[in-house]
Amino acid sequence: MKKILITGALGQIGSELTMTLRERYGAKNVIATDINKNDSNVVYSGPFEQLDVTNDKAFFETAKKHNVDTVIHLAALLSATAEQKPLLAWNLNMGGLVNALEVSRELNTQFFTPSSIGAFGPSTPKDRTPQDTIQQPTTMYGVNKVSGELLCNYYFQKFGVDTRGLRFPGLISYVAPPGGGTTDYAVEIYYEAIKKGHYSSYIGKGTYMDMMYMPDALNAIINLMEADPAKLKHRNSFNVSAMSIAPEDVEAAIQKLMPEFTMDYKVDPIRQQIAESWPNAIDSTCACEEWGFKAEYDLDRMTADMLLHLNKKLT
Ligand code: AKB
């Protein structure tokens, strides 16, 4: 039976992943941790500990106390916030990651942490971006993600830690909002469509980025963690994407179901610059071949589901 510790469990991925893993492995076997504490299901439906991942001793003691065999490390600053607070991003994203890897090494646990399309930069091929290619990001977040990918590979090669990871695109969900990301527009647009029937996009027309609906992201994490290690040639930071879209594509998908919806643009130069430094469309072939990655949701199916759930949640 698994015993999993999740950091950043109240964040966008963590709040859904915790609940999904509790259903799969039993509530008491999934220890949710976060620097914050709130009134959510995550806190009350199973074990919860307040944890600052930069505190190495507290991290180790929490993991040891619960006798965990898997660490899922999600606590991190996203790209736009990291660009505003680069030193904090370095300290939290890298300090938290090395502490998490050390806990895994000392307790001999399996390990997962997400990388991102942000690990690529302007010199990376923009379309059908290969799994193994140039990675020279121009953001602090990207620098953290490339370093993190290398560090996870190092812990596998040097210490035999069973590290695994995915390069996530923008993740879209109606449950917990993202915070401080460049791809957040693709979540906000659905909230504003329901609340106001209008959205002003901070990302410009024609700016393509990869995206994925949260149920596909959760399945991808579970499938990768359960994959036969003998079949994994890459282990860390697999490219995974479900769709490559620009704001006007989301606008058109929403208008199929809400013809009254309108959108205009108020481009934020900082997030636009980050978006332009990232690929248009990454190639997920290695993830498909090595552990059977498959996304179920395209833009239209995701849009119908988002609008259905947000209608119930917001009206
Ligand atoms: C962000 O926009 O920072 C994240 C990501 C793509 O890693 N959603």
Probe residue for ligand 1, chosen from 77, 92, 116, 282 as the CB with the greatest number of ligand atoms within 8 Å: 116
> Which residues are the active-site residues?
141
Q: Are 306 and 257 spatial neighbours (Cβ–Cβ below 8 Å)?
A: no
ipTM exceeding 0.90, yes/no: yes
List ligand 1's pocket residues with C-beta within 6 A.
Answer: 78-79, 116-118, 141, 168-170, 178, 181-183
Structure tokens at 244: 């490559």
Q: What is the number of other CB atoms lying within 10 angstroms of the CB of residue 83?
A: 21
Q: Which residues in 185-209 are b (16+ Cβ under 10 Å) and which e? A: bbbebbbbbbeeeebebbbbeebbb
Probe residue for ligand 1, chosen from 184, 211, 237 as the CB with the greatest number of ligand atoms within 8 Å: 184
Distance CA 75, CA 92 (A): 8
Distance 140 CA to ligand 1 centre (A): 12
Distance CA 239, CA 165 (A): 9
Distance 41 CA to ligand 1 centre (A): 25
Probe residue for ligand 1, chosen from 168, 182, 277 as the CB with the greatest number of ligand atoms within 8 Å: 182
Q: Are 68 and 21 spatial neighbours (Cβ–Cβ below 8 Å)?
A: no
Distance CA 74, CA 97 (A): 9
Q: What is the pLDDT of residue 1?
A: 75
Atom 4, ligand 1: which residue's CA is nearest?
A: 181
Q: What is the pLDDT of residue 177?
A: 87
Distance CA 214, CA 225 (A): 17
Give the position, in ligand 1's atom list, of the atom nearest the Cα of 182.
2
Q: Are 12 and 79 spatial neighbours (Cβ–Cβ below 8 Å)?
A: no
Query: How far, CA to CA in Å, does 129 sit from each of 106, 212, 214, 280?
Result: 36, 16, 22, 8
Give the position, in ligand 1's atom list, of the atom nearest the Cα of 210.
6
Structure tokens at 105: 């090494």
Q: Are 89 and 141 spatial neighbours (Cβ–Cβ below 8 Å)?
A: yes
Distance 270 CA to ligand 1 centre (A): 14
Q: What is the number of other CB atoms lying within 10 angstroms of the CB of residue 248?
A: 15
Q: Could you list the pLDDT tens digit for every one of the 315 residues in the chain?
A: 799 999 999 999 999 999 999 999 999 999 999 999 999 999 999 999 999 999 999 999 999 999 999 999 999 999 999 999 999 999 999 999 999 999 999 999 999 999 999 999 999 999 999 999 999 999 999 999 999 999 999 999 999 999 999 999 999 999 998 889 999 999 999 999 999 999 999 999 999 999 999 999 999 999 999 999 999 999 989 999 999 999 999 999 999 999 999 999 999 999 999 999 999 999 999 999 999 999 999 999 999 999 999 999 999
Q: What is the pLDDT of residue 207?
A: 98
- State the helix-helix crossing angle for 299-314 and 185-195, rounded to 10 degrees: 50
Give the position, in ligand 1's atom list, of the atom nearest the Cα of 145.
7
Closest CA to 69 of 13, 111, 15: 111
pTM for this one?
0.97
Q: What is the pLDDT of residue 70?
A: 98
Q: Which residues in 23-61 are b (16+ Cβ under 10 Å) and which e? A: eebeeebbbbbbbeeeebebbeebbbbebbbbebebbee
